């Protein structure tokens, strides 16, 4: 997949799901949001975004860079790469 430049989005996280293993030793945290299901990504190099999301109590707002998911993952409307900063605010 070609590199995508993340687009800044803001949305409300309504429910935080379980941390799941993903390919290439990465991890995925699915969250129900005001935009639909969004996946936050992390791996051994950085779990900062996932840790921040898991530490917050829904509902809360998030502002971060997002990319369009690969077509093979149909239940995610957006992905949040581990390389982008995540800003959490209360609703």
- Within-domain flag for 53: yes
What is the pLDDT, as a whole number, of residue 16? 98
Q: How far apart, in whole angstroms, are the C-alpha atoms of residue 88 and residue 86?
A: 6
- CATH code assigned at 51: 2.40.50.140
Q: Is residue 15 part of a domain?
A: yes
How much is the pLDDT for 1?
Answer: 44
Query: What's the pLDDT score for residue 90?
Result: 76
Instruction: Give the three-class secondary structure for 70.
Output: coil
In a domain, 1, yes or no: no
Domain that includes residue 72, residue range: 7-90
Structure tokens at 58: 């829904």
Q: Is residue 65 part of a domain?
A: yes
Q: What is the pTM of this model?
A: 0.90
Take residue 86 and report the two structure tokens written for it: 């995540």
From edge to edge, which strands make up the β-sheet containing 7-22?
78-80, 36-43, 26-33, 7-22, 60-66, 86-90
For the chain, 91 residues long, the average pLDDT of each consecutive 10-residue run is 83 96 90 97 92 96 93 82 92 59
Number of independent structural domains in the chain: 1
């Amino acid at each position: 997949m070609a590199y995508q430049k993340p687009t800044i989005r803001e949305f409300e996280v309504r429910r935080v799901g379980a941390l799941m293993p993903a390919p290439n030793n990465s991890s995925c945290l699915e969250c129900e949001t005001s935009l639909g299901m969004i996946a936050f990504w992390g791996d051994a190099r950085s779990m900062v975004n996932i840790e921040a999301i898991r530490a917050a109590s829904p509902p809360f707002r998030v502002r971060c860079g997002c990319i369009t998911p690969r077509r093979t993952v149909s239940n995610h409307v957006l992905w949040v790469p581990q390389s982008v900063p995540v800003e959490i605010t209360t609703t």
